[in-house]
Amino acid sequence: MSDRIVLAYSGGLDTSVCIGWLTEETGQEVVAVAVDVGQGGEDMELIRQRALDCGAVESVVVDAKDEFAEDFCLPALRANALYMDRYPLVSALSRPLIVRHLAEAAREHGATVVSHGCTGKGNDQVRFEVGIANLAPDLKVIAPVRDYAWTREKAIAYAEEKGLPINQSKKSPYSIDQNVWGRAVETGFLEDIWNGPIEDVYDYTADPTVQREADEVTISFEAGVPVAIDGTRVSVLEAIQQLNTRAGGQGVGRLDMVEDRLVGIKSREVYEAPGAIALITAHMELENVTIERELARYKRGVDQRWGELVYDGQWFSPLKRALDTFIDEAQSAVTGEIRMTLHGGRATVTGRRSGTSLYDFNLATYDEGDSFDQSQARGFIEIYGMSSKLAARRDELSTGRPSGARS
């Protein structure tokens, strides 16, 4: 058996022509690995056979939908992961899962090299290669599109020359990546950031401006894990799928943003993530009810850093693992139910209920039954403001004017 290359295979033009090209250029056999992360609309058996028809010596298809939901989407949910406070890490979550299966396939099939179809100006090249460096540092990496200027035109010409079973002679107006957590769309006319997205861009969501009846949903959580929808038990994958359908049907989860890529450029991206946005909205509100104030304040900073690390391809890093431990501990009391109305592109929380709630009606009410001793507030304010009061007095004595006064 000759040396082998494990290729992250999507079934599309670029990775399909990579199979024969890699074999010719390196003299090594290619094992194609396709990972099903709930991208939908694709027959994975057809993709497996296509890889063989394009020259792969082995073609592996992995059904990783539950693994993706449990091991990658759920941690992102518990971290309320929104890069730049908006993007729910669609592609960034799937890449480390694919890396995990590439490394396993390399061991199983005796490969010494892994390959991917990423360009040199995107984030995914970093996610793949940093992940491989963490899980299998002995493996080499080949990126034909980046390292050998493998253009789409060259790929089409190669496919036609070799008679490969790929029908791809016209350039799609968009570059699309999708999984069960969401869908990312870029390039084409969207690269002009003055152009507004048109309905043709969207697939996971309905037009939120169309009049329709609102949908009310109740999501139950146990220790930060969604476990039921409207009282019916669900897996994490089922929770995401059901809310993709229901929230997506109300136009929830559309995002149009210019984001900061790791490589230093800004990129315009259009996202759809109805299930992710609905779940994160509900989870954040349940945390507001159940997590103590100082822990909640600190966790918001942890959540932001967690999202940045994952976006930047550091899923397997020591800091990411340490933050996971903190987040796990912070979720211990995040149990209860959130009721939301899905309508007009928004997921609006309308009710909260939890056996571990820190909300005390008798302390919060201004009506009869108020148990808050307001007489204690005066002393609290005096002590709370003591340090800044002393500093203000010092500044006034030294400058002759109150602290903060205009010159």
Active-site residue among 146, 175, 177, 230? 175
> Are the C-beta atoms of 19 and 50 separated by less than 8 Å?
no
Q: What is the pLDDT of residue 73?
A: 98
Split at pLDDT 50, 70, 90, the class of 2 is low
Average pLDDT over residues 287-295: 98
Same domain, 153 and 267: no
Q: What are phi and psi of 89, to 5 degrees?
A: 60, 50
Please confirm, yes or no, whether 373 is among the known catalytic residues. Answer: no
For the sheet with 266-272, list strands across it: 175-179, 182-186, 266-272, 254-260
More confident residue, 364 or 268: 268
CATH number (domain holding residue 41): 3.40.50.620
Same domain, 144 and 181: no
Residue 152 pLDDT greater than 90, yes or no: no
46 SS3 class: helix
Q: Find the domain containing 261 and state its range.
A: 176-291+333-353
Tokens for 239, please give them.
């929770």
Please confirm, yes or no, whether 175 is among the known catalytic residues. Answer: yes
Q: Residues forming the annotated binding site for L-aspartate?
A: 119, 123-124
Same domain, 207 and 68: no
Q: What is the pLDDT of residue 172?
A: 60
Please confirm, yes or no, whether 220 is among the known catalytic residues. Answer: no
pTM of the model: 0.92
Within 10 A of 354 (CB to CB), how many other CB atoms are there?
Answer: 17
Same domain, 162 and 243: no
Residue 307 pLDDT greater than 90, yes or no: yes
Residue 246 lies inside a defined structural domain of this protein: yes
Residue 122 pLDDT greater than 70, yes or no: yes
Q: What is the pLDDT of residue 169?
A: 47
Residue 168 pLDDT greater than 70, yes or no: no
Strands (E), 65-116: 111-115
Residue 95 lies inside a defined structural domain of this protein: yes
Residue 324 pLDDT greater than 70, yes or no: yes
Same domain, 94 and 136: yes
Residue 318 lies inside a defined structural domain of this protein: no
Residue 297 lies inside a defined structural domain of this protein: no
pLDDT digits (tens, 9 = 90+) for 30-66: 999 999 999 877 789 999 999 999 999 999 999 999 9
Residue 361 lies inside a defined structural domain of this protein: no
Same domain, 117 and 29: yes
pLDDT digits (tens, 9 = 90+) for 356-369: 999 998 888 888 88
Domains of the chain: total: 3
CATH number (domain holding residue 345): 3.90.1260.10
Domain finish residue from 140, 171, 202: 171
> Are the C-beta atoms of 316 and 135 separated by less than 8 Å?
yes
Please confirm, yes or no, whether 95 is among the known catalytic residues. Answer: yes
Same domain, 27 and 116: yes
Q: What is the pLDDT of residue 171?
A: 55
| DSSP type of residue 291 | S
pLDDT digits (tens, 9 = 90+) for 188-208: 889 999 999 999 999 999 999
Active-site residue among 48, 50, 95, 268? 95
Q: How many CA atoms does the CB half-sphere of 355 hold within 13 Å? A: 6
Instruction: Give per-residue burial for 148-159: e unless 16+ CB within 10 Å, then b.
Output: eebeeebbbebb
- The DSSP bridge pattern shows strands 111-115 and 140-142 to be parallel
Q: Residues forming the annotated binding site for L-citrulline?
A: 87, 123, 127, 175, 259, 271
Average of per-residue pLDDT values in the chain: 92
Average pLDDT over residues 197-220: 96
Least confident of 16-25, 164-173, 194-203: 164-173
Q: What is the C-alpha to C-alpha distance for residues 295 and 317, in angstroms, rounded to an integer?
A: 23
Average pLDDT over residues 240-253: 98
Closest Cα to residue 319, out of 134, 140, 141, 70?
A: 134
Active-site residue among 4, 14, 254, 268? 14
Domain finish residue from 171, 196, 224: 171
Tokens for 370, please give them.
């108020």
Helices and strands per DSSP (H, E), number in the chain: 15, 14
Cα distances (Å, whole numbers) of residue 132 to 18, 29, 31, 101, 312 = 19, 20, 16, 10, 14
Least confident of 1-15, 90-104, 270-284: 1-15
